[in-house]
Structure 1
Amino acid sequence: MANISTLVQEKFIFLHTFIRSPKAVGSITPSSKFLAQALTKSIPWDSIGAVAELGSGTGPVTKQIKLAAKPHNRIILFEKDPVLREQLSVRYPEYACYPDACQIRSAASAEGVGQLDAIVSGLPFFNFPEQLRKQLMDEIAAALKPGGLFIAFQYSLQMKQLLSRYFHIEDIRLVPINLPPAFVYVCRKKEQHP
């Protein structure tokens, strides 16, 4: 019964956050378990060190990260909304949680991490102004090690052109069991980016 109550509470909080800031949230409901699994299964957890999650929200992807991660992995979360960030800090006290995804490198440095092996993102990039999208892409690319993975979900293929400037897009998967259905981009950092 507690799990159902928690799930309903998470959906309510997420919906409330969406109503307050629809462009920052991008969806009326949290990511499904299937989407969270699709985001984390491309990460070679045994052979990497540090991973960041952007736009952690109520934590459905964070939960999947915790299930997949190995004891040696360092996880850093980013969530802009202060209420959601506080809840993440309570639910995942072992993970550092920061407010600004435009400051990935400084947060990683504060955690004693150099460049990241992978970044997982649920940010609704296409809802953001063009300047913010570019700033985020620059920061993500700079924060990743050479050959690092960027795995993001979007609700359309509109980000394909921008992502291809920074990354080799290795795969795009449709996850139909999500509301709305989502595309997962599996990308690898290019040697040179804009």
Structure 2
Amino acid sequence: MNPTELAEVPLSHRMKQRFKKLMGPWGVFLQGFIEHPVMVGSIIPSSRFTIQKMLAPVNWSECKLFVEYGPGVGTFCRPVLERLPRDGTLIVIDTNPLYIDYLKATIADSRFIPVLGSAADVEQIVRAHGHDHADYVLSGLPFSTLPDGVGPAIAAATHRVLRPGGAFLVYQFSAKARDFMARHFHRIDQGFEPLNVLPCKLFWGWKD
């Protein structure tokens, strides 16, 4: 960009871009939280302890399709891809184009498919990419602050899209998500991770 073009870019935009470059993924994550606090569960990404505990029950050898809602800057994406079989697929769904654009630019893996859309449309998204069902669905979406009706719709759609024996993996700061899950999942295992900001509740809803 030459000096003339640079002068035409608003100072506020240049400052924002400089901040994002300086902060890296943290800057992108923080910007997403500031712009859409209701849709982002935390002001900072999940800890490695939360990631390890959340993914521990997954049977990776039988996982062909893993879906994540609200991937942010890819905090879970990379650990999932490290564990996913070579013929597996990871579809991530987010309503924020900031995060989707960032993931497209930073994760180069043929098994990785970032989608700009709503988690409530997971069935259509999964079918559009050639799958009949998902083996596991992970969500860090803040169910307690989602607009009315969205949480129940996501829980119902997730149950329908999962194969028998699959699971809905949810990490939250409140237990609201469990209320939505309990309408569809008869078995819900629970956990807690104190080494996270903030400490979070963990749920694994298994489809019969």
TM (norm. structure 1) is 0.89
Is 2:185 the counterpart of 1:167?
A: yes
Return the match for 1:126 from 121, 144, 149.
144
Could you tell me which residue of structure 2 aligns to residue 58 of structure 1?
73
Could you tell me which residue of structure 1 aligns to residue 15 of structure 2?
none
CA deviations on 1:43-101 (whole Å, 9 max, x unpaired) are 10002211101100011111110121111222111121111101112222421111221
SS at match of 1:172: strand
SS at match of 1:25: coil
Greater shift in the superposed pair: 142-151 or 51-60: 142-151
Moved beyond 6 Å, runs of 4+: none
Counterparts of 1:37-48 in structure 2, within 5 Å, are: 37-48=52-63
Work out the CA distance in 2 between the residues paired with 1:7 and 1:157. Answer: 35
Is 2:116 the counterpart of 1:99?
A: yes
When the two structures are aligned, how many residues end up with a matched partner? 186
Gap change, CA 1:144 and 1:7, over 3 Å in 2: farther
Could you tell me which residue of structure 2 aligns to residue 86 of structure 1?
101
Work out the CA distance in 2 between the residues paired with 1:8 and 1:31. Answer: 17
> Shift in Å at residue 179 of structure 1?
0.6
Counterparts of 1:1-194 in structure 2, within 5 Å, are: 8-93=23-108, 94=110, 95-100=112-117, 101-190=119-208
CA deviations on 1:95-143 (whole Å, 9 max, x unpaired) are 1111221221111112111111110111111111231111111211111
Work out the CA distance in 1 between the residues paired with 2:62 and 2:22. Answer: 33
Work out the CA distance in 2 between the residues paired with 1:169 and 1:161. Answer: 13
**Ranges in structure 2 where 5+ consecutive residues have no aligned partner:** 1-19
Work out the CA distance in 1 between the residues paired with 2:73 and 2:42. Answer: 12
Q: Percent sequence identity over matched residues?
A: 26
Query: How well do the aligned residues superpose, as a CA RMSD in angstroms?
Result: 1.8
**Ranges in structure 1 where 5+ consecutive residues have no aligned partner:** none
Contact 1:14 1:57 in 2 (8 A): yes
Contact 1:163 1:169 in 2 (8 A): no
Contact 2:68 2:137 in 1 (8 A): yes
> Shift in Å at residue 6 of structure 1?
8.2
> Shift in Å at residue 160 of structure 1?
2.2
Work out the CA distance in 1 between the residues paired with 2:46 and 2:29. Answer: 10
Q: Give the letter for the 1:184 counterpart.
A: L
SS at match of 2:67: strand
Work out the CA distance in 1 between the residues paired with 2:175 and 2:144. Answer: 10
